Amino acid sequence: MTQLLTEKQINIGVQIILDGGLVAFQTETVYGLAADASNKAAIQKVYEAKNRPIDKQLVLQFASVKAACAYFPNDIDDVTLKLLKKFRVGLTVVLPNDTAVRIPANKFAKRFLRACGIPLVVTSANISAQPSTKTWNAVYDDLNGRIDAIFMSKPSKVGTPSTIVQVASSNEQRAIKVLRDGAISRKKLAKILPVMT
């Protein structure tokens, strides 16, 4: 049975993460499913809970750009930094080391990440190949008994998964390669760098 938590019970959720468990929480895009990024057994639980193909990468989420830069001091260049700062809502950037990074804009998501004090791997809180969910009720319907806890927050505002991009170089020119369309449009991205078609 999956435990249902209020936002005031954030410490219970943090302890579940630190003990190697799985917790679903609201972000501004869709509900996310989190685990300790340093715990291989916990990460395996994420794949099992979602029936997620093992070759599909998970995203590292941080409470702030500063925290991401501290964790990857040599992998976040000026363009990546600009993207992370410009698009506070709904953007995931794949670094040169092939790690996907996201800083959610949602206040509770930031609080939860900060309270955990460690990087979390996060993916959408739903069964793979099913639509992403924006309410805790939908997460419960999908994942009850498969994960340890769900925070009962308000519905996610955007309701669309993040856009996933990578900064690519070709003939000494830099451009944005869109790996998955989502909350941030290509038109908005093009204001930073050309977008590859």
Residue-level pLDDT at 58: 96
The pLDDT tens digits for 39-53 are 999 999 999 999 999
The pLDDT tens digits for 153-185 are 999 999 999 999 999 876 678 899 999 999 999
Residue-level pLDDT at 118: 92
Place of tokens 């959610």: 104
The pLDDT tens digits for 96-153 are 999 999 999 999 999 999 999 999 999 999 999 899 999 999 999 999 999 999 999 9
Backbone φ and ψ for 39, nearest 5 degrees, come out as -105, 105
Residue-level pLDDT at 50: 97
pTM: 0.93
Contacts of the segment 189-196: beta carbons below 8 A, 24+ positions apart? 189/83, 189/87, 189/163, 189/165, 192/79, 192/82, 192/83, 192/86, 193/79, 193/167, 196/168
Give Dmax (Cα) for the chain.
54
The whole-angstrom separation of Cα 146 and Cα 48 is 8
* Domain regions of the chain by residue span: 1-63+103-159, 75-99+162-197
Task: Give buried/exposed letters for 31-43 (b at 16+ CB in 10 A, else e).
Answer: bbbbbbbebeebb
Residue-level pLDDT at 173: 84
Mean pLDDT of 58-65: 96
Helix (H) or strand (E) holding 182: none
Task: Of 57, 32, 34, 59, give the one whose Cα is nearest residue 46.
Answer: 34
Mean pLDDT of 10-16: 98
Which superfamily does 1-63+103-159 belong to? DHBP synthase (3.90.870.10)
DSSP 117: -
Residue-level pLDDT at 186: 95
